[in-house]
Amino acid sequence: MEDKTPAEFSFTAINGVEPAAVVESESVEISGINVAVDVTIQGGEFSIEGAAFTSSPATITTGKHLKLRATAGAFGETVEVQITVGDTQKTFHIVTRAPDLEPESFTFGELTDADPNTYQVSNAVSIQGIEAAAVISITGGAYSINDSDFVSSAGTIKNGDKLVLRVTTSTQFESNTTASVSVGGYSAPFSVKTRAPRIQPDAFSFIESIFVSMGAWKTSPPAVMHGLEVSTGITVTNGRYRVGSADFTDQPGTIGPGDTVYVQVLAADLPDTAATVTVNIGGVEAQFTATTAPDWDAPTGEILFPPRVSLTNSLLNPVRVRVADDFGISQVKLFVVDQLGRSDTQFLWPNEEKTEWTGNLRLAETTSTVVLQVKDASGNWEYAADEIVITRASDQETGFPSTETVSLPDNCCLFAMDTKRNRFILGDSKSMVAVDITDGSRTQLPAPPEATSSYQGDTFIDDGDTLILLDRDGKKIYRYSLKNPQDAEISVIASSDDGKDVDVGWPNAVTANADGSLLYVADSLSRSIYSVHPVTGDRKLISDNTIVSDVDFAANIYDIIAVDSDRLLVLQASDNESLIWVDIQTGKRTLNSQSATRGIKSALIKDMNFDPANQTIHMLGTVAPDSFYPITISVDETSYERISPANDSSSPANGYAEYDFDNGFVYFTGGSDNITNIRVLDPVSLQTMFLSNDVK
């Protein structure tokens, strides 16, 4: 019986074979058959007893050796060779090894100074050392193979492919971002560090400001902080700054990206002068300059003395001027031109500590015009700041102003300054004349009723519209209205026969309280002081010698002043002129301490003037026949000033004085039997000039 089933045999599988390698099995002996059997193969070749390998069918007998051969497949594949011997089939496995998917090492350089929140791409690397497509994956970024789009999902990569990574940098400065790529189990990081923030802004500037006000803070236009990425320090020099809407400050602070900054500088106190503030932001400086406007304004000046129009008999005459400019005076000139066209110039050199200067002018015997010219420190001239006219002639022979037809009163006992109308009022028993303070021109006023002796008085009430007149010998007190200069309203306030409680004896001086609602009259006959209502004439005794006091009233009371609501000051003749305080409420009298200790010379212009602004009493003393001196006594009796006598060609004895406290002048009347005049004294130079002169 034929036995075609060989004894058990097998071929050992071969693993880890290189791809495409030709692999032979071990040699296997075929036994257990008693006849020759067929041998067929699929997927390979066989060799019997070392014969050539073949895939064609053949036969084999027992005891013969069989070997198989086949070509390995690709990486990781298993090739199966099916061999059939008789009726038995066997399989020979050839397993190709797995590919090497771990690449050679590669690295990505570390990037620094990258901008925040930006894409940053690595250097490209070529993947080497893998034998098949390897799996690629990434965390923290994306990758691109051979310039394809960047992706972050897993994929495959082949040997020789170009690999580039990309990361999105941190939104924070100086912060690391790392992507890690894995290829076939090999991992490589790609790190990017963001740069340090910019603490310096882009360059910025401020437009200069010109024609700014002096001494004022000037604010710059705004500057916006571009290029700055974090808050940084801000400091300021020679000024102050403001961030946004905060308050201005000069202290160090901080400023952030996009913030707006303003700076301020204190403008100079001089014209056409620059002031600069410097601001430093993160090391970047900018300046803002404010330049004051040029000095376009000419200086000002005025001639204080002599008055606008005056007469003098002196060859040399002082001229006192006051000049002013906000930024200093560089030159002062007095330019003199006489009627013959001759000119002269007197230079006065400014002193920073002074605003007034006095220059002496030599005058020809003619009329001269004096022009004040002033130049300021900026070179601005005022060629006609002020001017006056001076006539040099003998006051004993020359009437002044020369064109006057109105005569001054002969025996002038009334001399009052009408400040409301800028004039003096002079009067005697028959005539009333107004003299303009500016030019000395005269106006005849309506005459009051003819008085027994000359009128006296220098007191105005009713807002300066009414002058109080005293008719001493007639024993009457009048209201003289000045509202209508052509038709004076004259009415009797008080008289000795009006039946009032207090008799009018010899009213010699009068004053009024602050609002003019009450008069105070000094009466030399009764040696008393009484009040008089300016409308009704009602009178009330204030003080007489029946009231026991430290000092009595003398027979001749010269003047009286209401210093305040409680006190009167009386000037009277005694062994030596004296000043007496009178208490309005009690009538008590005390001697003014300055008057008592220093004395007042008997040759005194019998008139007092009160300066309420400075609380001082002013008088004018004379040293007959040709000298006089101003006296100033403070109301609080703490100071006494007597200026040295000045020489004058005419004695002002028996005259009356009025003070112009605004300009510092003393006006007084004087003269002789055939001459009546008004003179003005400059207390600084102690020079006198004639405002008006009447030669009969």
Choice among 240-244, 360-364, 544-548 with the minimum mean pLDDT? 360-364
Q: From CA 187, how far away is CA 190, in angstroms rounded?
A: 10
Does 220 or 658 have the greater pLDDT score?
A: 220
**Hey, CA dihedral for 474, 479, 483, 488, is it positive or negative?**
negative
- The predicted model gives 44-65 an average pLDDT of 94
Three-state DSSP at 127 gives coil
Question: Where is pLDDT greater, at 328 or 241?
Answer: 241
In terms of domains, do 583 and 457 share one? yes
- Joined tokens for residue 389: 């006219």
Are both 451 and 580 inside the same structural domain? yes
What DSSP string runs through 492-539? EEEETTS--SS----EEEEEE-TTSS-EEEEETTTTEEEEE-TTT--E
* pLDDT tens digits for range 10-19: 999 999 999 9
Structure tokens at 93: 């496995």
Q: Closest by alpha carbon to 436, among 445, 449, 428, 447?
A: 445
Residue 416 lies in a domain: no
Q: Count of domains in the chain? A: 5
Task: Tell me: do 92 and 184 sit in the same domain.
Answer: no
Cβ neighbours, 10 Å, residue 323: 25
The mean pLDDT of 665-672, rounded to a whole number, is 78
Residues 557 and 480 both lie in one domain = yes
Asked if residue 483 has pLDDT above 60, the reply is: yes
Contact 570, 552 (CB under 8 A): no
Q: Work out the average pLDDT over 21-39.
A: 94
- Do 65 and 29 touch, CB atoms closer than 8 A? yes
DSSP calls for 629-676:
EEEEEETTS--EEEPPPEE-SS--TT--EEEETTTTEEEEEEE-SSEE
Cβ atoms of 445 and 432 closer than 8 Å: yes
Given a cut of 70, whether residue 643 has pLDDT beyond it is no
> In the chain, pLDDT over 90 holds for what percent of residues?
55
pLDDT digits (tens, 9 = 90+) for 208-245: 999 999 999 999 999 999 999 999 999 999 999 999 99
255 and 329: one domain?
A: no
Identify the residue with better confidence: 410 or 478: 478
**How many degrees, rounded to 5, is the angle at CA 524 between CA 521 and CA 530?**
30
More confident residue, 260 or 614: 260
Take residue 227 and report the two structure tokens written for it: 């290029």
Residue 456 lies in a domain: yes
Which residues does 110 contact at the CB level (< 8 Å), separation at least 6? 190, 191, 192, 193
Distance, in Å, from the CA atom of 310 to the CA atom of 279, rounded to the nearest integer, reads: 63
For residues 253 and 337, state if they share a domain. Answer: no
pLDDT of 616 higher than 50: yes
Asked whether the predicted pLDDT for residue 349 surpasses 90, the reply is no
Q: Which tokens sit at 213?
A: 């006000």
Averaged pLDDT for residues 456-475: 90
More confident residue, 441 or 630: 441
Q: Determine the structural domain holding residue 472 and report its residue range.
A: 446-591
Q: Which two tokens stand for residue 304?
A: 């204080």
pLDDT above 80: residue 579 = yes
Chain segment 497-542, per-residue pLDDT in tens: 999 989 999 998 999 999 999 999 999 899 999 999 999 999 999 9
> What does the pLDDT look like over 580-596, one tens digit per residue?
899 999 999 998 876 65
The helix/strand/coil state of 412 is: coil
Confidence check: pLDDT of 29 > 80: yes
According to the per-residue pLDDT averaged within each range, which of 168-182, 336-350, 635-649, 670-684 is highest?
168-182
Report the C-alpha gap between 159 and 157 in whole angstroms.
7
Res 404: pLDDT: 84
Domain of residue 35, CATH code: 2.60.40.2410
pLDDT at site 452: 65
Residues 6+ apart with CB under 8 A from 383: 371, 373
The H or E element spanning position 305 is strand 300-305
Strand spans (E) along 349-454: 356-362, 367-376, 381-392, 414-418, 423-427, 432-436, 442-445
Is the pLDDT assigned to residue 657 strictly greater than 90? Answer: no
Name which residue leads in pLDDT, 695 or 236.
236
Instruction: Output the pLDDT for position 274.
Output: 96
Within a domain: 417? no
Torsion of CA 197, 199, 203, 205, to 10 degrees: 140
Domain containing 159 — which CATH number? 2.60.40.10
Indicate whether 86 belongs to any domain: yes
Q: Please give the pLDDT value at position 201.
A: 95
Q: Does 259 map to a domain?
A: yes
pLDDT per position as a tens digit, 279-320: 999 999 999 999 999 998 899 999 989 989 999 988 888 888
Domain assignment of residue 638, yes or no: no
* pLDDT at residue number 577: 66
199 has which bridge partners? none
Check whether residue 461 and residue 548 sit in a common domain. yes
The CATH number of residue 547's host domain is 2.130.10.10
Spatial contact of 348 and 321, defined as CB atoms under 8 Å apart: yes
Q: Are residues 288 and 309 in the same domain?
A: no
Q: Which has the higher per-residue pLDDT, 229 or 668?
A: 229
Does residue 115 lie within any of the structural domains? yes
Confidence of residue 102 (pLDDT cuts 50, 70, 90): very high
pLDDT of 651 above 50 = no
Which of 62, 96, 130 is the last residue in one of the domains? 96
For 119-148, write each residue's pLDDT tens digit: 999 999 999 999 999 999 999 999 999 999
Q: Give percent helix, percent strand, percent coil of the chain, each to the nearest 5.
A: 0, 50, 50
Q: How confident is the model at residue 411 (pLDDT cuts 50, 70, 90)?
A: confident
Domain CATH for 288? 2.60.40
| Residue 466 confidence (pLDDT) | 92
C-beta of residue 304 within 8 angstroms of C-beta of residue 356 = yes
535 belongs to a structural domain: yes
Instruction: Considering only residues 663 and 501, tell me which one the structure prediction assigns the higher pLDDT.
Output: 501
Cβ-proximal residues to 229 (8 Å cutoff; 6+ apart), any chain: 173, 197, 198, 199, 257
Domain boundary among 563, 591, 619: 591
Q: What pLDDT was estimated at residue 368?
A: 87
Out of 292, 326, 344, a domain closes at: 292
pLDDT of amino acid 361? 83
Let me know whether 357 and 237 are in one domain.
Answer: no
Q: Which of the four pLDDT bands, split at 50, 70 and 90, describes residue 456?
A: confident
Same structural domain, 331 and 461: no
Average pLDDT value for residue range 65-85 = 94
The pLDDT score that the predictor gives to residue 649 is 44
Query: For residue 599, what pLDDT is reported?
Result: 56
Please indicate, yes or no, whether residues 483 and 571 belong to a single structural domain of this protein.
yes
What value does the mean pLDDT of the chain take?
Answer: 88
Q: What is the pLDDT of residue 623?
A: 55
> For residue 587, is it left (φ>0), alpha (ψ between -120 and 50) or beta?
left
Note the pLDDT of residue 662.
Answer: 80
Strand partners, 186: 183
pLDDT band at 648 (very low <50, low <70, confident <90, very high): very low
Asked which of 55-64, 180-189, 427-436 is least confident by mean pLDDT, the reply is 427-436
Residue pLDDT, tens place only, 389-400: 999 988 888 889
Query: Do 125 and 89 reside in the same domain of the chain?
Result: no
How does DSSP classify residue 132? S
Q: How confident is the model at residue 650 (pLDDT cuts 50, 70, 90)?
A: very low
Cβ-contact 259, 340 below 8 angstroms = no
pLDDT at residue 620 in the model: 75
